[in-house]
């Protein structure tokens, strides 16, 4: 589990929804709530640490030439 053994933030730190997926190799959990502004968080750090480290995500799609 990526060297981490305890999930400290199993639910979304903003809306408390369960993750749709936890990816241990990337240390990310993905929020299942479409209305939540959180895309993903690190489940192996505390809720407070996640909230302190929040920042906007910029999602871009690569368009073919």
How confident is the model over 33-54, as pLDDT tens digits?
Answer: 999 988 899 999 999 999 998 8
pLDDT at res. 1:
44
Count of structural domains within the chain: 1
pLDDT at res. 6:
84
- For residue 44, what are the domain limits? 1-56
Report the candidate in 51, 50, 49, 45 with the shortest Cα–Cα distance to residue 6. Answer: 45
pLDDT(8) > 50: yes
Question: Considering the domain boundaries, does residue 13 fall inside one?
Answer: yes
Question: Considering the domain boundaries, does residue 65 fall inside one?
Answer: no
User: How is residue 41 written in tokens?
Assistant: 């968080």
Question: Considering the domain boundaries, does residue 5 fall inside one?
Answer: yes
User: Alpha helix locations (H) across 11-61?
Assistant: 47-52
pTM reported for the whole predicted model: 0.75
């Amino acid at each position: 589990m990526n060297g981490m053994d305890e999930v400290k933030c199993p639910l979304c730190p903003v809306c408390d929804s369960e993750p749709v997926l936890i990816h241990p190799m990337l240390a990310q959990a993905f929020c299942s709530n479409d209305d939540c502004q959180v895309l993903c968080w690190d489940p192996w750090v505390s809720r407070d640490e996640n909230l302190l480290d929040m920042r906007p995500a910029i999602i871009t799609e690569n368009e073919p030439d």
